[in-house]
Amino acid sequence: MLNPMDRFASPDTLFPVILPDGSPHQGTVFLRPATRDHPQFQVGDYTYASAHVPPADWAAKLAPYLYPFSPETLKIGKFCQIADGVQFITASANHRYDGFSSYPFGIFGGGLAGSPAMPFVFDFAPKRKDVPDVAMTIPTIHQNSRFERFAPRSR
């Protein structure tokens, strides 16, 4: 008796879908072989991704902020399906939040490289009296994912 798995593509096959004319469908890939050269991707067997316009670099299309030098790793399990247009936004996409602004002042020069996003110790940081009468959101020291809200000051 014929085993159906004998006809199933190997998980190391880049293009697992074969069209009636015998050519591989370029818009569907098993993701593990498609991202094999990216050090921060770990993909399980038979996970596939599809795209209407196949990218040259599947890793860059799926996780545009996951660089080879990023500290995090994207782990995707076995038998997952990833539709066209899906993107994984990893921690390397985040801006710093250890000042009152998440604006990346440090990447634009001015001697701020490596400094907090905008610490209160700089002379040019706005003072509370200069902030308009609106609620202001700043990160807490204790939890990165929690924010404290300050009510508008009374007149």
List, for residues 116-132, the tens digit of each pLDDT value.
555 544 455 555 555 55
E strand intervals along the chain: 28-30, 41-43, 48-50, 74-76, 81-82, 136-139, 147-150
Of 41, 64, 94, which one is at a domain's C-terminal end? 94
Q: If pLDDT is split at 50, 70 and 90, which confidence band does 141 have?
A: very low
Residue 114 and residue 84 share a domain = no
Residue 123 and residue 111 share a domain = yes
Residue 74 and residue 12 share a domain = yes
Contact 15, 33 (CB under 8 A): no
Range of the domain at 15: 1-94
pLDDT at 85: 94
Q: Which residue has the higher pLDDT, 19 or 107?
A: 19
- Give the model confidence (pLDDT) of 2-23 as tens digits: 566 667 899 999 999 999 999 9
Of 78, 94, 110, which one is at a domain's C-terminal end? 94
Give 128's Cβ-side CA count (13 Å radius). 8
pTM of the model: 0.63
Per DSSP, the three-state class of 58 is: helix
How many independent structural domains does the chain possess? Answer: 2
Residue 118 and residue 76 share a domain = no
Residue 36 and residue 12 share a domain = yes
